Amino acid sequence: MNRVFIAEKPSMGRALAAILGRPVPKEGYIAVGDDAVTWCFGHLLEAVPPEGYDPELKIWRRESLPIIPNTWKMEARKDAKGQVKVIRELLRQASTVVNFGDPEREGQLIVDELLQHLAWKGHTLRLWLNSTDEKSIRKALASMSDNANYVNLSHAALARSRSDWLVGLNLTRALTLIGRSQGVIPSGQVLSVGRVQTPVLHIVVMRDEEIERFVPRDFFIPYIQAAHKNGEFKAKWYPQENMEGLDSDNRLVSEKVAKEIVDAATGRSGVVTSMESKLQKKEPPLPHTLGSLQAAADSQYGLSAQATLDIAQSLYERQFTSYPRTDCPYLKEEQFADAEELLKSLAEAGCRGAENANHELRSGAWNSAKVEAHHGIIPTGVKPSGLKPDEERIYALIAEGYICQFYPPYQYMAHTVVVDLGGNVWKASGRSVVDLGWRGIFTADDETKDLLLPAGMAKGDPIECLKAEYEAKKTTPPARYTEGTLLDAMQHVDRFVTDPRMKKYLKDAKGIGTSATQAGIIETLKGRGFLSRKGKQLVSTALGRMLVNAVPLPLKDVQTTAIWEALLSKMASGDIAFEAFMSEQERLVRSLLQQTELVKFPGAKPPTLCPECGQALQLMSSKKSGAYWACFNKAGHNGSNAYYPDDNGRPGKKREPAVATGPMIPCPEPGCGKNMRRLESSKKAGCFFWVCENKAHPIRKDVEGRPGDPFEASLKAKRGKK
Ligand SMILES: [Zn+2]
Ligand SMILES: [Zn+2]
């Protein structure tokens, strides 16, 4: 076998195979002549859980934290074992492997970690693809480079995933155990924290608290109905600097001053002190990034960020649109050559504005220097078919984002007249549209309509005040977050810091999380019960607030996570060593754990003490037995842990160990040679079972006083019958 291509997803593998030659489908891969194309389903491997390092770690205990693996172990995901085997077999026969992960750090790692897991050391190339149409694939195939060139990218993804694991796992366990021991959460509730999710939750909580603290204030807007010889118009009072009665936002908050202004204007005449008309141009918005697409879909159709990402991903996999997980709105200059053909196919597909677009117009979107790993999301020209209604909407948003590049700017004259009257300054503005340009594609709104002032006004013209009044208004609190505005906040977290150095880090990192993960973060916070959706609004729950208010600052501060992202992108470009970053992460985890020791949740109850030894008990829970209490002070209980069932939030009567009865009998397990002991259940008197001296051997049923089938085997047999 010649080359083995490993794609990130089956759909990508199939698209590639169709172009390489005559595809022959096989089990888990496609043969194409001498080559094979196989695939992952995202990450096929996962970090083994703590109990994979030490069975004792399955139990959540504060004493066992921090959990920091010396040598990290990966294992195949349960549902991916078959595919890993297929790839292992293919690698045995391969002369060259091609990493065909998605073109980003996560895609790089998905294939690289698999190659490492399977100990592949041979020749490896990288196929880097931004669009999945045939032309782009052929171009990329002709320019594959050595996969080793991407090792830093791989490291950055690995560092991210390991630090997520370290922080998430250790701090989630610590805070959950503290919450349980202080009696503020039920035993099944998990207080999860994460590198990105906790700062995002913090952002929402801060906003919600600001809204609830908000006290509306009255303010006043004086205005006049003014008469010019060519017509009437309404002009608003314009505050002068250092005037009496203004607040810090230059709002007039004194009703007394408002009355004085109105009285001074009533019945007076004044003069136009300036009349300006300026041509304003608005260039078309750049093509969509994932963030702008999600925001548009949320505000126009109420689609969740995750739903929009899923649809964009599916459109991409069906080759209708380009790669969706992009932060960059720009396009490569050479893509301009595709415009005529692409617009034609969009017109045939009935896309709004495509028919009248001018393919020779070149907007500011074509700028290769600004394109990083991916360009803006655009249609590929493959005619979409079989789209569901929401898919059609997302496709239209993407198509229109492209089409409007081929329209002239929206142009209008902005008129401003300033009037001096009654000792005050009054302003009115108007607008006359010169050319709708790209705005003409979209439905008309207030901004695209004319707003007229009397014609021919000029400096020095006399003005009469027909009527003077003031409007009373109330200041309004900031708006609750929606999924769209929260995504926007994640992408522009620099708003939340003042330090200019931090601002720059955050801008370079393009926010917290990646556009690929941001929607998932919101889903997680909703799933944990920290955020709830009320209509379009996202509101923090009491549980979410309790958590945010208790966690140490570095865990919720956007600066921490932003610095991490900045470091990761430095690692991707080879400026920071992987090992240095990871040892810093370990130090941080230890320090965060120390800080959580001081956490006191509101309403915390004193610890529940062990009725036998007086040490603090831990409230535990397991799927099998529900809530129970554990004492890990072995010294107080003859060298073993003590367990108590939960009795309405208190430790109940202790479970007694099972009692041995009768003589021992040799274990029937082949080659064991040890003995089995017959025990009577402490829960159910008269109920017996058999346990081998070799603890690894299964517990057996009691059949007429002798060891019968193992419990597990009979369970499996039952399941098999179903
Ligand atoms: Zn005890
Ligand atoms: Zn045995």
Residues 84-101 have pLDDT tens digits of: 999 999 999 999 999 999
Residue 610 placed within a domain: no
In angstroms, the first-to-last Cα distance of the chain is 43
Which pLDDT score, from 0 to 100, does residue 83 have?
96
In the reported structure, the alpha carbon of residue 615 is separated from the centroid of ligand 1 by a whole-number distance in angstroms of 6
Q: How confident is the model at residue 7 (pLDDT cuts 50, 70, 90)?
A: very high
In the reported structure, the alpha carbon of residue 686 is separated from the centroid of ligand 1 by a whole-number distance in angstroms of 29
Total H helices, total E strands in the chain: 19, 27
Average pLDDT, the chain: 89
Residue 602 placed within a domain: no
Which tens digit of pLDDT belongs to each residue from 682-709? 667 778 888 888 877 888 888 888 888 8
In the reported structure, the alpha carbon of residue 712 is separated from the centroid of ligand 2 by a whole-number distance in angstroms of 15
In the reported structure, the alpha carbon of residue 633 is separated from the centroid of ligand 1 by a whole-number distance in angstroms of 5
Which pLDDT score, from 0 to 100, does residue 629 have?
85
ipTM of the complex in this document? 0.60
Least trusted range by pLDDT, from 451-465, 483-497, 577-591, 638-652:
638-652
Would residue 613 be called left, alpha or beta, if left means φ above 0 and alpha means ψ between -120 and 50 degrees? alpha
Which pLDDT score, from 0 to 100, does residue 181 have?
84
User: Residues 225-245: what's their mean pLDDT?
Assistant: 89
User: Which ligand has an atom closest to residue 643 CA?
Assistant: 1
- Give the residue from 82, 109, 143 where a domain finishes: 143
Q: Which of 150, 323, 395, 412 is catalytic?
A: 323
Are residues 79 and 51 part of one domain? yes
Helix (H, G, I), strand (E, B) or coil at 36: strand
User: Which ligand has an atom closest to residue 692 CA?
Assistant: 2
In the reported structure, the alpha carbon of residue 347 is separated from the centroid of ligand 2 by a whole-number distance in angstroms of 75
CATH number for the domain that contains residue 564: 1.10.460.10
Question: Residue 203 above 70 pLDDT?
Answer: yes
CA distances from 588 to 92, 158, 313, 564, 585 (A): 41, 17, 35, 11, 5
In the reported structure, the alpha carbon of residue 643 is separated from the centroid of ligand 1 by a whole-number distance in angstroms of 9
Asked whether the beta carbons of 406 and 441 are under 8 A apart, the reply is: no
Pairing state between β 675-680 and 659-666: antiparallel
Are residues 135 and 68 part of one domain? yes
Which tens digit of pLDDT belongs to each residue from 567-625? 888 898 899 999 999 999 999 999 999 999 888 898 888 888 888 888 888 877 776 66
Residue 609 placed within a domain: no
Are residues 139 and 9 part of one domain? yes
Asked whether the beta carbons of 252 and 239 are under 8 A apart, the reply is: yes
Q: Which helix (H) or strand (E) holds 555?
A: helix 553-556
Are residues 26 and 135 part of one domain? yes
Question: Residue 713 above 80 pLDDT?
Answer: no
Instruction: Based on the residue annotation, tell me whether 150 is a catalytic residue of this protein.
Output: no
In the reported structure, the alpha carbon of residue 638 is separated from the centroid of ligand 1 by a whole-number distance in angstroms of 10
Question: Residue 10 above 70 pLDDT?
Answer: yes
Residue 575 placed within a domain: yes
Least trusted range by pLDDT, from 272-276, 279-283, 443-447:
443-447
Which pLDDT score, from 0 to 100, does residue 517 have?
80
CATH number for the domain that contains residue 371: 1.10.290.10
Which tens digit of pLDDT belongs to each residue from 499-515? 887 888 788 777 787 77
User: Residues 445-464: what's their mean pLDDT?
Assistant: 86
Which pLDDT score, from 0 to 100, does residue 504 have?
81
User: Residues 394-407: what's their mean pLDDT?
Assistant: 96
Are residues 521 and 440 part of one domain? no
- Give the residue from 424, 448, 474 where a domain finishes: 474
Which tens digit of pLDDT belongs to each residue from 300-357? 898 989 999 999 999 998 999 999 988 889 998 889 999 999 999 999 999 999 999 9
User: Which ligand has an atom closest to residue 672 CA?
Assistant: 2
Q: How confident is the model at residue 36 (pLDDT cuts 50, 70, 90)?
A: very high
Q: How confident is the model at residue 640 (pLDDT cuts 50, 70, 90)?
A: confident
Structure-token pair, residue 143: 């320019």
Would residue 662 be called left, alpha or beta, if left means φ above 0 and alpha means ψ between -120 and 50 degrees? left
Are residues 545 and 430 part of one domain? no
Are residues 644 and 522 part of one domain? no
> Looking at the 3D structure of the chain, how many domains does it have?
6
User: Which ligand has an atom closest to residue 630 CA?
Assistant: 1
Neighbours of ion ligand 1 (CB under 5 A): 610, 612-613, 615, 631, 633, 636, 642
In the reported structure, the alpha carbon of residue 613 is separated from the centroid of ligand 1 by a whole-number distance in angstroms of 4
Domain boundaries, position 52: 3-143
Sheet holding 618-622, edge to edge: 618-622, 626-631, 642-647, 650-651
The C-alpha atoms of residue 130 and residue 470 are separated, in whole angstroms, by 57
pLDDT > 70 fraction of the chain, expressed in percent and rounded: 97
Helix (H, G, I), strand (E, B) or coil at 347: helix
User: Which ligand has an atom closest to residue 667 CA?
Assistant: 2
